[in-house]
């Protein structure tokens, strides 16, 4: 097993990885920008290295500095967390070229899944159903228009290099088609340096369901069930739950099995998530994430497995040591993303946290680097914490969620806590009857008053 791991991230996820390392007797190295020297992930790590100025491009994305930090501290492996360099195949290659271990999949798998057109083709061949759409990327706009007419409108134009909901445009009618392609391509070029786009049927009211996978380097693959991430704003997840209120046992078994078999056929290693849209009893692949996800704790809650620990064990060459039959699912879990944002306008609200009180009690977990007196820097993602609650049933979990949100105090800044409290009063959410567009429709209704 590794003696020392460098955590190439910040915030709650850096802390999350640190905690798993600690429990495994592994020393940790934190990296940080000049703006983060007072951050909790730096305070708790065994060692820390400043890797550059505040902008992420010069610090958390600064590969030479991160490799140097490994060499200076003698770290043997790198955990990339999510975001930043976690899905950068080149980074994984450089880490390995320096004789270090990248705690994640092979660079080839990261690259394959990072190109959504290639990924879609690969999973289709492995037996996973995909959203109907163009075969490959759009080369000629007139050809593409014919394909769009065949698919039927509305049609979604998506970026091959897409992520975080960017580079996505809906063509409602044939008249909108050209403009949608041009806008999506321009956005993708600006955001990812790659303007390649492809077409998909725009599904009306699907749910976002994803399957968590773990695979070791000895050919053992298990799935850890699904997460329902249908509560979204601008294609970004706001709240996640496991299991999904929308699946029955038969469908759950089928999608888990199909996903596991396909991932096994790829020879994939590490943790990964296959994302689907689910509508009218059918699943359609949208993408695979080759990293730990923000919402992984809901899976941890219902399976009792520490996913970061499993990632580290797999990277060290250990076998899973359990089979699909050994995985059991217990109760219900819900995660609320707590963002430093205005709960109504969603404008970022960084600044000094004057007061902080974490909720506690049975089945309550708060993953956050906040403390009273901490100044949230304005340079990074607004996610400042995740509240995860676990109960025997969904009803019990909802009551526990309300109770713990009410207990949580974050003073001095605006947060999305009140949004979650308001959601808990909504019948559609309480009954589990919502889809990926429900939240936006609800928010628009609220804004009108």
DSSP tag of 436: T
Q: How many chain residues touch ligand ADP (CB under 6 A)?
A: 18
Q: Cα(first)–Cα(last) distance of the chain, in Å? A: 57
Question: In terms of CB distance, is 165 or 361 closer to ligand ADP?
Answer: 165
**Residue from the set 163, 331, 343, 350 that interacts with ligand ADP by CB under 6 A:** 163
Cα distance between residue 5 and residue 385, in whole Å: 23
Examine residue 234 and tell whether it contacts ligand ADP (CB under 6 A): no
Question: In terms of CB distance, is 187 or 306 closer to ligand ADP?
Answer: 187
Question: In terms of CB distance, is 216 or 228 closer to ligand ADP?
Answer: 228
Helix-helix angle 296-303:307-315, to 10 degrees: 100
Examine residue 131 and tell whether it contacts ligand ADP (CB under 6 A): yes
Examine residue 156 and tell whether it contacts ligand ADP (CB under 6 A): yes
**Residue from the set 160, 203, 263, 401 that interacts with ligand ADP by CB under 6 A:** 203
Q: Which stretch binds ligand ADP (CB under 6 A): 10-18, 73-81, 194-202, 238-246?
A: 194-202
Cα distance between residue 18 and residue 7, in whole Å: 8
Q: How far is CA 187 from CA 193, 347, 431, in A?
A: 9, 21, 37
Helix (H) or strand (E) holding 421: helix 417-423
Closest contact distance (angstroms) between CB of 289 and ligand ADP is 8
Question: In terms of CB distance, is 200 or 216 closer to ligand ADP?
Answer: 200
DSSP 3-state assignment of 159? strand
Burial bucket for residue 99 (CB in 10 Å: 0-12, 13-18, 19+): exposed
Residue 353 CA from chain centroid, whole number: 26
**Residue from the set 106, 232, 368, 404 that interacts with ligand ADP by CB under 6 A:** 232
Cα distance between residue 135 and residue 121, in whole Å: 8
Residue with tokens 């004789």: 99
Examine residue 208 and tell whether it contacts ligand ADP (CB under 6 A): yes
Q: Which stretch binds ligand ADP (CB under 6 A): 48-56, 70-78, 196-204, 312-320?
A: 196-204
Question: In terms of CB distance, is 285 or 374 closer to ligand ADP?
Answer: 285
Question: What is the footprint of ligand ADP within residues 312-341 (CB under 6 A)?
Answer: none
Residue with tokens 């497995």: 305
At a CB cut-off of 8 Å and minimum separation 6, what does 206 contact? 230, 277, 278, 279, 284, 435, 436
Closest contact distance (angstroms) between CB of 171 and ligand ADP is 12
Closest contact distance (angstroms) between CB of 130 and ligand ADP is 10
Closest contact distance (angstroms) between CB of 26 and ligand ADP is 31
**Residue from the set 47, 96, 275, 381 that interacts with ligand ADP by CB under 6 A:** 275
Question: What is the footprint of ligand ADP within residues 276-295 (CB under 6 A)?
Answer: 277, 286-287
Please identify which of the residues 111, 252, 269, 291 carries the catalytic annotation.
291
DSSP tag of 380: S
Question: In terms of CB distance, is 78 or 156 closer to ligand ADP?
Answer: 156
Told to judge if 269 belongs to the known catalytic residues of this protein, a careful annotator would answer: no
Helix-helix angle 107-114:89-97, to 10 degrees: 170
Cα distance between residue 8 and residue 153, in whole Å: 43
Q: Which residues contact ligand ADP by CB under 6 A?
A: 131, 156, 162-165, 200-203, 208, 232, 235, 275, 277, 286-287, 436
**Residue positions annotated with a catalytic role:** 291
């Amino acid at each position: 097993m590794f003696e020392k791991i460098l955590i190439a991230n910040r915030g709650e996820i850096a802390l999350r990885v640190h905690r798993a390392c600690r429990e495994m007797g592994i020393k940790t190295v934190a990296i940080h920008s000049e703006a983060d020297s007072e951050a909790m992930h730096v305070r708790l790590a065994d060692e820390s290295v400043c890797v550059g100025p505040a902008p992420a491009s010069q610090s958390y994305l600064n590969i030479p500095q991160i490799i140097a930090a490994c060499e200076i501290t003698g770290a043997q492996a790198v955990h990339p967390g999510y975001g930043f360099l976690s899905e950068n195949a080149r980074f994984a290659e450089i880490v390995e070229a320096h004789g270090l271990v990248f705690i994640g999949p092979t660079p080839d798998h990261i690259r394959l899944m990072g190109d959504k057109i290639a990924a879609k083709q690969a999973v289709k061949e492995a037996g996973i159903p995909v959203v109907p759409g163009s075969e490959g990327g759009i080369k000629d706009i007139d050809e593409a228009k014919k394909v769009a007419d065949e698919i039927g409108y509305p049609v979604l134009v998506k970026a091959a290099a897409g992520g975080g909901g960017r580079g996505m445009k809906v063509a409602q009618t044939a008249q909108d088609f050209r403009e949608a392609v041009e806008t999506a391509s321009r956005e993708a070029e600006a955001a990812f340096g790659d303007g390649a786009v492809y077409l998909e049927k725009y599904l009306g009211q699907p749910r976002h369901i994803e399957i968590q996978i773990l695979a070791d380097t000895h050919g053992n693959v298990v799935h850890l069930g699904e997460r329902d991430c249908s509560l979204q704003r601008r294609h970004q997840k706001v709240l996640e739950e496991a299991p999904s209120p929308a699946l029955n046992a038969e469908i759950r078994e089928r999608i888990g099995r199909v996903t596991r078999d396909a991932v096994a056929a790829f020879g994939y290693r590490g943790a990964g998530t296959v994302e689907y849209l689910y509508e009218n009893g059918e699943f359609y692949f949208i993408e695979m994430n080759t990293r730990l996800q923000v919402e992984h704790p809901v899976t941890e809650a219902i399976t009792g497995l520490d996913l970061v620990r499993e990632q580290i064990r797999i990277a060290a060459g250990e076998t899973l040591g359990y089979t699909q039959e050994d995985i059991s699912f217990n109760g219900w879990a819900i995660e609320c993303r707590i963002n430093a944002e205005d709960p109504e306008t969603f404008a970022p609200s960084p600044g000094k946290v004057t007061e902080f009180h974490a909720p506690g009690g049975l089945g309550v977990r708060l993953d956050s680097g906040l403390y009273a007196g901490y100044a949230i820097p304005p340079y990074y993602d607004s996610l400042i914490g995740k509240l995860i609650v676990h109960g025997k049933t969904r009803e019990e979990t909802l009551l526990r969620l309300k109770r713990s949100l009410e207990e949580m105090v974050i003073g001095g800044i605006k947060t999305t806590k009140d949004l979650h409290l308001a959601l808990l009063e909504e019948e559609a959410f309480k009954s589990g009857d919502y889809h990926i567009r429900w939240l936006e429709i609800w928010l628009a209704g609220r804004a009108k008053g």
